[in-house]
Structure 1
Amino acid sequence: MASGPSETILEDFLSCGICLEPYKKPKILPCAHTFCERCLKAHTKLKRKFSCPHCRRQVILPPEGVKGLGDNFWIGSFRDILEAQRQSLGIVGTGRRLCQEHEGEQLKYFCKSCDVTICSDCIIFNHNQHDVTKIGQVIQKKREEMKTQIEEERRNLRKFVSKLDTLDMAEKEIHEKKHDVDVQIRLCAQRILDEIEKERDALLGEVSSAAQRRIEVISDRRKVVQQELAERMAIIERVNKASAAEDLVEMMAIKDTLKQTGGAAIDDFENDLTIPTLNVVFRAQQIPLANFKLGFIEEKAADADTVKKNGGPHDTDSFLTLEAVAVPNSPIALQQDSKASSTDPTVQEEAATSSSGAVGGDTESDDLFHEVESLLLEPVPTSMSVPTRLPARPKNPFGQRGTGDGEFCSPERIAVSEDGDVFVLDCGLKKASIQVFDLMGVFQQRILFEDVNVRAMSFREYEKHIIVLGSSPKESCMVLQEYSKYGYLHRSMRLGIPFLRKADITECPDGNVAIVDENSGNVYIIDQQGKRVATFSADDNPGRSTSCSIATDPTNGNIVVSLATKESIKVFDSCGRFDFEFGSFGNGEGQLYHPTGVCTDNLGNIIVADSGNHRIQMFDSSGRFLRVIASDREKLQWPRAIDLTSDDRVVAADTGACCVFLFPIYFR
């Protein structure tokens, strides 16, 4: 049977042009055509430059690859909207319709007089002597009448789809501009903070130098006093010995010495022994912090011609643009006499011999605030504005040992969303919980679990869902649950796998999840309906607790498993077939000691939390050592779990330090 109009619409507009199936993780190209993320990865074959499968326009992928392309946000929710609209219009399936007036009778006829479909009973009772014909003879005529209207509607549909794509591209551009402005804001603020810290260190250095000079003088004078004291004590000792020995000659010699070092000599010594003091005062510049502004926000229309005379835009094509505006006048009150004729006046030494003994009313301005003013007046090179206060500096690391919000007992799992949300699974309490932070280290919320004992956690990016693996005491089984990033439960699925006391979980590129049992080393592949589709062992001879972690390679779907007690990393293909293994015990480059967390980047490189060596190492997709990303020099103690941010930073949950670290993976 031929598809109806609504099914054809779904096929035309909600299906990928490569696989011809409903979209999965739809990605939109700069030419506004949309395809599945997986299909684009297969089409591009990991090349940065390729042609759009639909219009053949050349496309250059961002550094993150296909994953870095914008998501087509409207595709995901449009099916639900369309289905709700169909139900509201009374559109049902394509089966036989029954007469609502005469039960069980099919609508087989069409009354031309009344322009309605009727049944055989309707002809007898309601439409007697009307112009009636069989419905099949009317369908073809009606189809021809509607053909022109349907074609017109199809053209309109394409216009609406194009408009949705345009809105998606506009939203992506806004996110990109916001990111650029965030960077510029932080750079602008950081430059000012750096100058302030530089000036602070210079002032502290001057005070320290002045104090050190006087301390050195005091030290020299202390030696003189000690020498004089020792000489006089020696004289007294000579007197005692000579007196005890009744040595008159020695006693007379000592008497002459005492005359030379008598009271007059002591007075002269005290007059010569001037004790230095540090007469230093710090005079701070008066800054009206309440009125301090790094910049301000200004919104204006992108094109004045697109704005109505009354100030309103014509349509959705008229957008507002955020403009960068430098502060025209520094709010810091600078004094007029700003040029100093001597060194920095904020630290002045008062001479011990000064007749006044006080610092005068100097009106010279501090050089620091000249620099601040010049920085504020310098235009910010961005197309958006600057906030009205300095942004908080990122906390690195963030978190500490404790049970409160933003504190950890045992942070054992970590996941990061592309939006910059950091999810940390803390298993140290009686009930495990997930704490959510932003990349600045600011605590957002805590997600608690009442009916499940959480074992592991991951994040499903295309649905923005937290994937939680746990055991259900009520159902006595393992369950896989999906939560929104705000902690609302979306669904829960029973799993047909053995009970797992300790486990790890990762999201596969095809939407499945891979679960590894830390005790046995068994790996279970679970589809999106909660069914087990594959099982294999990552450890041929578990013997004792294997302590595994698991990750998947986004470039080819390979499964990477760390075997902590075997000091090795094993790589399997997406079907569980063994590919290769690397790693050996030791603390040299590329060697491992109790490797725990593992993750991969968009190039297939493998990042390993080498816990026993208190470091994080990076290997290429073949297991060749590349570099040490971070070590105990960066305060790492026991990095337990790791993940990557969208801007190529490693986020590490450290169970030894009970905190979270961030490190760039390509620079050290």
Structure 2
Amino acid sequence: MNNKMAAAPSSLRADFKEELTCSICLELFTRPKVLPCGHTFCQDCLQDLAEVRVPFQCPNCRRQVRLSPQGVTGLPDSHIIANMCERLQQQTSLSGETREQPQSGNRCSFHPSEVLKVYCKQCQIPVCDQCLEQAHDDHRTTTIKKAEQERRSTSHAFIDEGRNILESFLRFLRSLREEEKALNEKKQQTDDSIIEAYNQTVQTMVQKLTERKDHLLSEAGENHTENLDRIQTERDRVLVDVNELSSACDRAEQELQQGWVEFLSQQTTLIEVVGKYRGKAAPTPVQTQPAVFQPTDTPGPVLGHVTVQSLPPAPILAAPEHVPIPAAPAPVQAAPAPAQAVPVSSNDAARGTGHHHGNQRQGEHQPQKLSFGGYGSGTGQFRGPSGVTVSDEGEIFVADKGNQRIQVFTLQGTFVRQFPTVVSGGQEMSPYDVAMDGEGNLWVVGEAKSADFAVQYNKQGRVLRKVDLQKTGRGRGVAVDTRRNHILITQTTGQSVSDVHGKVLVFRPDGIRVGTLSRQQRMKYPWYVTVDGEGNIAVSDLKNHCVYVYTRDGQFQFGGEGSGEGQLNEPHGICTDRAGNIVIADNRNRRVEMFDKTGKFLKHITTDLNWPKAVTMATQGQLVVTYWDDHLVGIFQNF
């Protein structure tokens, strides 16, 4: 083999070297390792590749290779290729030495002083005279020149035959390389075709499934809306009776607190009202039919079907037995009653007590309204009611800023309880806004002497958590994103009205800030913020006179300074109803507006209010509004 490789021309040696070259480092193999697919690479080259490519694949055919715990070193060695590389290096080195070193002469290796004279045909070696006499005397000999000529002729024949055989082997190796290349290209084309067909099929299936999903959701949504409308219709009908009975009872309690002369001389209507409802039939149960999703096993993008299931109506509690009411009850000494929602004249309302109905525009529908409060620090009175929220149970929580407290009322305006807005450590805080989280706890933002704070309270006023905020001296709003479990707090900074700028800070309940909401058009004075049931966020900017809306599909804004339909003038409080419609306290325009979820103007809910401040929607369907200047809270229904 050594003789053949030594005699091979440079072109054949180059072919040998190409076959013995690593395709990664392009050098002769060093410690060659064989992969399961049959391809060979240097051990160090495979080691470097295994550190950066996970999962490990053959660099040539991309077949995935599972390495043993020993890694690349655990792969089998290719001893044949290693030996061939070593021999090729040796032949290259020897050929270089032959060219550089002169011949040492025709001296006998056994008798260095003797010159080789003849060629022994029997032993096939050149010999000197002493060798001939000692060991080859009876052997056939010839001259060295003639033996050289005969050997050259024979060697040339073998060289030619060896070259032909070697060339056939190299052609075979080249054909294997071409076949491997063609197989890799064909495999890649097949993989690309499979992936393309898969993507097209998946895209088509996803599109059909999405369309089916949207259709099913639409069916279920329409059914749900119909059921809610039935419930709301019955609620509105019964609320009229509830308000009439409640007003009669409240009026009778006030009469009991007066002196006995006035009490006996007044004509009470309580007996008449109670008598009216004593014989009235109880409300009939509401028959609802919720939609039920039934999955299907049918192959294809069907998902299932929405069917309507009839549920038994909600039970009606039996009315209590009627208690006879004496025609002329004896005078009693009653304790002072808690603050109640009492109807008074508009003039009284302007002075800060009782109901306030506002000025209705000619020919414009005005919803039914109940107001309570008035200026002061007593129970049920306010000094700047700046924020409001309603629990699922129907309790109204009012942020009474000037009195540094939260007051709680029923949806009929009856005082329930109150608690001071203190920060942990006893520091008093003036609350700007209040919101309720998914666990029924309150988040209140406000300012103290040292800084602004966001404080979490339970419904009885116990401090659960505190978040320190930058002191700004400007109003803040708060909302809870129950879908993402985030607390949203507005912030406005700046030295003067002309350079104010704001943003919405996003916190986790543990007080860690996780983000900021901003706009390409700079926010000037964001105050109130709300989140609807789908997680869409709406922020009112009272200096840009607009509302910013953030949805999963992007951002948009609506409004603009003015008093026309769809325009706003210093919008403050903001909330959403069950349908996602946006309700805004249009402060300077003295009205409450409703827009749909895309920002399209729908209607004026009520007009001629005295500076509406904060708004919120009760789950029972009522709208609650605070009036900053009148220090009142209004409850609207049937709007």
Q: Do they superpose with TM above 0.5?
A: no
Higher CA-based Rg: 2
Question: What interval of TM-score do these two structures reach, taking the shorter chain for normalisation?
Answer: 0.3 to 0.5
TM-score (norm 1): 0.43
